[in-house]
């Protein structure tokens, strides 16, 4: 491998434009895809194999309208006052009407009105035939009387009225009732006119309607009102809920049941249901709804705060990443000594990130990509891209300075040695990331593949484009003045004193590291996984205002609605009495604050209730409620299905929590195998892997303290503690493992190289540390800076990732690789590199130190 990389380096150096042209063409392809392909960032999660996903699929199939994107818009007064003044309530109602007119939002008020009208129509259809059966003979009798009066008086008006009465008497029930009311009204008018002329109706021979029924339509309406009143009351109880919070919005006598106003009148909550999922909606659907809402209410001093599901989905990136890049540039300048040399790693890293993250984003319409995916790819791509290029450029300059090699030869040898380590380290990171595919979670797969692709590109660019760029720079990569004064060695006073101190008293060093990391590692036992909600969003953000106002006005549980599906055991239709019974049974379950009917399937075999918990989405009692609901057997019903965003997040956290020990086992096995191949030792793999486990435990403990403990959240600028991102532990484990192996390979390979070439085992630890520590320190500081820059952002998910990775690198690089491992290896002495002969013969040779290249060059010389 080292010989092939040596040749690749010399080729790229000698023909830089050919190599760079290939990368330029690839950049062009990504730009073309980005410009021509639709982009889609998803806020939804698909969690196949879980109870919540199975219920969601069933509900979506039976009630297609329930599967659309939904959320809430909280309306508050800019001055903190009431929203229930006539002017402001009218504006809120207008906002709802404008949302419906966009054509993307379902008008729930219209649906409720249609349901009520349907009840009345069905009762009317039952009452009208009864009324018509009695009315028909009366109309026929009236027609005969009118005929007689018309003949006697010779009045054509009365004759026409008689003919119409004959026609209506045999009409369909509805038409008969409508026609009879009109005929009776006209007859009354004739009688009135006759009275005004001084003649009595009897004198003219005009009949009076039998039974005194002058308005059958009104009679039917009154009968329908009486019959429908209890049914509509039941419907109201079903749709309003068992314990509704606040009251409905009322404008000019019209009641809007779906818009709830808090008891103190300071908050209005507008539910929003789109006609489809985000992927089915036009690109600007969310923005359009928010714009028309704001236009309707801003004139009366109101402010709209949408829930996270209604906010446009954009990658949570800002300008904070530039801070980390600025620090990285300073470190590169100090390490490499020139602006040109420092700029090359930055340039290649940025190109790799553009290709990896930009390519994934350009193709995002073809798979499930969350908002965190591009940010994670950017974070990892910048860090490894800079570090891998740094290792090669540093080696390249060292060969020119210390051995006086020409630039082309130095590039070849740098790729054959440092490039081999970069390739191996990159493959380790990629393998760890691809191991996440075993979890079988779609959005985690996308994150892992995007990150793995970005790392692959970082390695490829470092091994091809970077040597080509060095070919363009040529001998100028090292100043002439620096070349005239060649350093005798790479030893540095700080590195020498540090490794001397940690190896002088190795047992004390080991005990100190274990104690220092053991304290935060204990905090990892308090790890509580979940999906950060609006309650931990940045103070003042729309998500935070929405969450806090909802909790204050309607209770914490209003932020954690559960969708509960109910079926009869025999799949029989659910009538209104049974729906009311099921609703009451749900409301009586411990932890349920309210239950309301969301809808029923066309065949009425499936009913869907929205169940409001007593606590918020990340409260342990809400998780208990989800399990309690699933374990509840209602009389005569199938097991309850529970879904909704809250239930899906709970299931996701449980799936990922269960995956942590399994994935750790995979990582441990992978680590032992890889390090066994690289170092051909039993102790080094065991010690390095144990050190990594201690580092990841301490890292998770620090994450818990920084984001989950109110006493320490101020350290990261968070004003409220919350859960730890459910997929953070497994993702951080994979990423930190790969990065930790980078440092172990670079430091350990340098130590082993000195040992193999005849140095005493303990002396080899020191000299190897001298040779590699400077570049490892620089690489670690760069990674910490890049990851740390993301802590300054507003998105909670990315802040947790940035903190975990920066803290993990700090712990692993400085306390494990550069403190604990030298102490352990020094304490073990010769035993550190011992390997049974039979195992040594079985293991394939992995040459990352470039020994085969050195032998080839020596033979050639």
Give the pLDDT band (50/70/90) at residue 62.
Answer: confident
Is there a domain that residue 225 lies in?
no
Return the HEC string of 532-555: CCHHHCCCCCHHHHHHHHHHHHHC
- Which structural domain, as residue segments, surrounds residue 657? 492-538+652-852
CA distance 345 to 329: 9
Give the pLDDT band (50/70/90) at residue 481.
Answer: low
So what's the pLDDT on residue 439?
82
| β-strand pairing of 254-261 with 267-273 | antiparallel
User: How far lies 786's CA from each of 3, 366, 378, 387, in Å?
Assistant: 33, 30, 10, 11
Indicate the range of 139-143, 720-724, 826-830 predicted with least confidence.
139-143
Nearest to 776 by CA among 489, 308, 395: 395
Residues 421-433: tens digit of each pLDDT = 888 888 888 888 8
Residue 673 near residue 741 (C-beta atoms within 8 A) = no
User: Is there a single domain that holds both residue 171 and residue 144?
Assistant: yes
So what's the pLDDT on residue 279?
66
- A 10 A CB-CB count for 653 gives 21
Is there a domain that residue 230 lies in?
no
User: Is there a single domain that holds both residue 517 and residue 413?
Assistant: no
CA distance 199 to 190: 11
Local structure of 633: helix, strand or coil: coil
User: Is there a single domain that holds both residue 56 and residue 170?
Assistant: no
Local structure of 478: helix, strand or coil: coil
Local structure of 717: helix, strand or coil: coil
Query: What value does the mean pLDDT take over residues 308-328?
Result: 74
Q: How far apart, in Å, do the first and last CA atoms of the chain sit?
A: 20
User: Is there a single domain that holds both residue 624 and residue 672?
Assistant: no
* Beta bridge partners of residue 599, listed in sequence order: 608
- Provide the CATH number for the domain around residue 579: 3.30.70
Give the list of residues 6+ apart from residue 730 with CB closer than 8 angstroms, or none.
Answer: 436, 439, 444, 656, 659, 660, 663
From 643, 672, 700, give the residue that closes a domain: 643
So what's the pLDDT on residue 148?
84
Residue 762 near residue 829 (C-beta atoms within 8 A) = yes
So what's the pLDDT on residue 211?
47
- Per-residue burial over 112-132, b = 16 or more CB atoms within 10 Å of its CB, e = otherwise: beeebeebbeebbeebbeebb
So what's the pLDDT on residue 435?
85
User: Is there a single domain that holds both residue 206 and residue 136?
Assistant: yes
Give the pLDDT band (50/70/90) at residue 841.
Answer: confident
So what's the pLDDT on residue 212?
44
Is there a domain that residue 705 lies in?
yes
For residue 821, pLDDT beyond 50 = yes
How is residue 188 written in tokens?
């009354």
- Provide the CATH number for the domain around residue 809: 1.20.1640.10
Give the list of residues 6+ apart from residue 857 with CB closer than 8 angstroms, or none.
Answer: 413
Using CA atoms in the order 491, 495, 499, 500, what is the torsion angle rounded to 10 degrees? 70
Nearest to 420 by CA among 750, 856, 4, 857: 4
From 488, 507, 522, give the residue that closes a domain: 488
Q: Please count the CA atoms within 13 angstroms of the CA of 465 that sit on its side-chain side.
A: 26
Residue with the larger pLDDT of the pair 860 and 306? 306
Query: What value does the mean pLDDT take over residues 187-195?
Result: 75
- Give the H or E element holding residue 152: helix 108-153
Residue 690 near residue 704 (C-beta atoms within 8 A) = no
**DSSP conformation class of 79:** T
Residue with the larger pLDDT of the pair 840 and 515? 515
User: Is there a single domain that holds both residue 376 and residue 405?
Assistant: yes
* Beta bridge partners of residue 613, listed in sequence order: 592
How is residue 575 written in tokens?
């009538």
Long-range contacts (CB closer than 8 Å, 24 or more residues apart) made by 116-125? 116/232, 116/235, 119/228, 119/231, 119/232, 119/235, 120/224, 120/228, 123/224, 123/227, 123/228, 123/231, 124/220, 124/224
So what's the pLDDT on residue 196?
55
Side by side, the strands of the sheet bearing 562-567 are: 592-600, 606-613, 562-567, 641-643
DSSP letter for each residue of 795-819: -HHHHHHHHHHHHHHIIIIIIIIII
Is there a domain that residue 227 lies in?
no
User: Is there a single domain that holds both residue 589 and residue 732?
Assistant: no
How many residues would you count in the chain?
861
User: Is there a single domain that holds both residue 319 and residue 443?
Assistant: yes
Nearest to 808 by CA among 721, 743, 718: 743
- Give the H or E element holding residue 562: strand 562-567
So what's the pLDDT on residue 338?
84
- Average per-residue pLDDT in the chain? 87
CA distance 491 to 767: 8
Residues 75-125: tens digit of each pLDDT = 999 998 999 999 999 999 999 999 999 888 888 888 888 888 888 999 999
Is there a domain that residue 693 lies in?
yes
| Percentage of residues in the chain having pLDDT higher than 70 | 93
Residues 730-763: tens digit of each pLDDT = 989 988 988 888 888 888 888 888 888 788 989 9
Residue 752 near residue 768 (C-beta atoms within 8 A) = yes
From 266, 284, 310, give the residue that closes a domain: 310
User: Is there a single domain that holds both residue 746 and residue 833?
Assistant: yes
Task: Specify the number of domains making up the chain.
Answer: 5
For residue 524, pLDDT beyond 90 = yes
Give the pLDDT band (50/70/90) at residue 850.
Answer: low
Indicate the range of 9-18, 39-48, 177-186, 802-811 predicted with least confidence.
39-48
Residue entry with tokens 């749709």: 239
Residue 302 — φ and ψ, nearest 5°? -105, 155
Indicate the range of 131-140, 213-222, 669-678, 715-724 predicted with least confidence.
213-222
Residue 499 near residue 272 (C-beta atoms within 8 A) = no
Residue 606 near residue 567 (C-beta atoms within 8 A) = yes
User: How far lies 79's CA from each of 298, 301, 540, 552, 739, in Å?
Assistant: 12, 7, 15, 17, 51
So what's the pLDDT on residue 200?
55
User: Is there a single domain that holds both residue 695 and residue 775?
Assistant: yes
Residues 9-23: tens digit of each pLDDT = 999 999 999 999 999
| Percentage of residues in the chain having pLDDT higher than 90 | 39
Is there a domain that residue 29 lies in?
yes
For residue 38, pLDDT beyond 80 = no
User: Using alpha carbons only, how large is the chain's radius of gyration in Å?
Assistant: 38
Nearest to 48 by CA among 290, 339, 368, 481: 368
* Beta bridge partners of residue 611, listed in sequence order: 562, 595
For residue 575, pLDDT beyond 60 = yes
Is there a domain that residue 746 lies in?
yes
For residue 488, pLDDT beyond 50 = no
Distance of CA 454 to the CA centre of its chain: 21
Residues 219-269: tens digit of each pLDDT = 889 989 999 899 888 988 988 888 888 899 999 888 898 899 999 999 999
User: Is there a single domain that holds both residue 379 and residue 527?
Assistant: no
Local structure of 789: helix, strand or coil: helix
**DSSP conformation class of 369:** -
Is there a domain that residue 857 lies in?
no
So what's the pLDDT on residue 286?
85
Query: What value does the mean pLDDT take over residues 415-421?
Result: 87
So what's the pLDDT on residue 774?
87
Give the list of residues 6+ apart from residue 367 with CB closer than 8 angstroms, or none.
Answer: 442, 446
For residue 486, pLDDT beyond 80 = no
Residue 70 near residue 563 (C-beta atoms within 8 A) = no
User: Is there a single domain that holds both residue 756 and residue 608?
Assistant: no
So what's the pLDDT on residue 639?
79
């Amino acid at each position: 491998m080292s010989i092939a990389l040596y040749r690749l380096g010399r080729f790229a150096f000698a023909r830089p434009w050919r190599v760079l042209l290939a990368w330029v063409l690839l950049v062009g392809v990504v730009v073309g895809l980005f410009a021509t392909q639709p982009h889609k960032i998803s806020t939804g999660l698909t969690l196949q194999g879980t109870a919540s996903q199975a219920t969601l699929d069933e509900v979506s199939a039976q009630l297609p309208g329930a599967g659309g994107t939904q959320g809430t818009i909280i309306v508050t007064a800019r001055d903190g006052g009431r929203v229930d003044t006539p002017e402001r309530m009218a504006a809120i109602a207008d906002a709802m009407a404008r949302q419906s007119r966009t054509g993307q939002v379902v008008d729930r008020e219209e649906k409720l009105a249609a349901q009520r009208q349907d009840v009345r129509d069905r009762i009317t259809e039952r009452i009208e035939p009864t009324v018509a059966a009695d009315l028909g003979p009366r109309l026929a009798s009236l027609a005969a009387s009118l005929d007689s009066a018309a003949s006697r008086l010779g009045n054509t008006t009365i004759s026409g009225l008689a003919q119409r009465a004959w026609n209506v008497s045999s009409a369909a029930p509805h038409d008969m009732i409508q026609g009879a009311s009109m005929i009776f009204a006209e007859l009354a008018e004739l009688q009135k006119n006759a009275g005004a002329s001084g003649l009595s109706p009897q004198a003219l021979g005009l009949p009076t309607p039998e039974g005194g029924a002058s308005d059958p339509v009104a009679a039917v309406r009154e009968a329908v009102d009486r019959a429908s009143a209890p049914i509509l009351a039941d419907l109201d109880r079903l749709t309003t809920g068992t314990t509704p919070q606040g009251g409905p919005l009322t404008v000019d006598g019209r009641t809007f049941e779906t818009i709830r106003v808090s008891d103190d009148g300071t908050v209005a909550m507008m539910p929003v249901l789109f006609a489809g999922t985000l992927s089915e909606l036009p690109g600007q659907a969310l923005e359009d709804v928010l714009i028309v809402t704001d236009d309707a209410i801003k004139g009366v001093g109101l402010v709209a705060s949408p829930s996270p599901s209604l906010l446009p989905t954009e990658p949570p990136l800002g300008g904070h990443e530039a801070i980390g890049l600025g620090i990285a540039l300073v470190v590169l300048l100090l390490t490499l000594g020139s602006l040109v040399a420092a700029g090359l790693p930055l340039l290649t890293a940025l190109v790799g990130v553009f290709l990896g993250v930009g390519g994934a984003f350009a193709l995002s319409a073809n798979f499930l990509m969350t908002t965190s995916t591009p940010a994670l790819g950017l974070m990892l791509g910048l860090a490894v891209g800079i570090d891998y290029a740094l290792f090669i450029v540093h080696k390249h300059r060292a060969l020119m300075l210390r051995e006086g090699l020409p630039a082309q030869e130095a590039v070849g040898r740098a790729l054959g040695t440092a490039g081999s380590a970069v390739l191996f380290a990159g493959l380790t990171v990629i393998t760890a990331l691809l191991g996440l595919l075993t979890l079988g979670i779609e959005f985690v797969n996308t994150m892992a593949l995007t990150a793995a692709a970005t790392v692959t590109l970082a390695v490829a660019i470092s091994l091809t484009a970077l040597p080509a760029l060095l070919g363009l720079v040529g001998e100028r990569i090292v100043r002439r003045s620096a070349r005239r004064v060649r350093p005798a060695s790479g030893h540095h006073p700080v590195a020498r004193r540090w490794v001397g101190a940690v190896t002088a008293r190795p047992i004390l060093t080991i005990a100190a590291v274990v104690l220092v990391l053991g304290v935060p590692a204990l905090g990892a036992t308090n790890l509580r996984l979940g999906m950060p909600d609006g309650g931990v969003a940045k103070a003042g953000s729309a998500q935070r205002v929405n969450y806090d106002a909802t909790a204050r006005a309607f209770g914490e549980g209003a932020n954690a609605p559960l969708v509960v599906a109910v079926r009869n055991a025999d799949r029989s239709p659910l009538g209104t009495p049974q729906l009311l019974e099921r609703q009451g049974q749900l409301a009586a379950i411990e932890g349920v604050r309210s239950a309301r009917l969301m809808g029923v399937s066309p065949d009425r075999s499936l009913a869907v209730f929205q169940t409001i918990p007593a606590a918020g989405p990340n409260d342990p009692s809400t998780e208990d409620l989800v399990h309690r609901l699933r374990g509840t057997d209602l009389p005569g019903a199938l097991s309850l299905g529970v879904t909704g965003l809250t239930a899906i997040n709970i299931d996701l956290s449980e799936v990922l929590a269960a995956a942590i020990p399994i994935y750790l086992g995979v990582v441990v096995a992978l680590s032992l195998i890889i390090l066994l191949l690289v170092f051909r030792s039993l102790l080094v793999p065991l010690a390095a892997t144990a050190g990594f486990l201690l580092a990841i435990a301490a890292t998770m403990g620090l994450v818990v303290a920084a984001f989950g403990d109110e006493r320490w959240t101020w350290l990261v600028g968070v004003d409220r503690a919350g859960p730890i991102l459910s997929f953070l532990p497994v993702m951080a484990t994979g990423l930190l493992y790969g990065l930790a192996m980078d440092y172990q390979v670079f430091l350990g390979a340098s130590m082993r190289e000195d040992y193999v070439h005849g140095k005493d085992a303990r002396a080899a630890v020191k000299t190897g540390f001298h040779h590699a520590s400077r570049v490892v320190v620089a690489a670690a500081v760069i990674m910490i800076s890049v990851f740390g820059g993301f802590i300054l952002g507003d998105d909670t998910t990315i802040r947790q990732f940035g903190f975990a990775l920066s803290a993990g690198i700090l712990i692993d690089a400085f306390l494990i690789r550069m403190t604990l491992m030298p102490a352990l290896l020094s304490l073990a002495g010769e035993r550190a590199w011992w390997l049974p002969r039979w195992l040594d013969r079985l293991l394939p040779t992995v040459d990352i130190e470039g020994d085969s290249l050195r032998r080839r060059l020596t033979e050639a010389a």
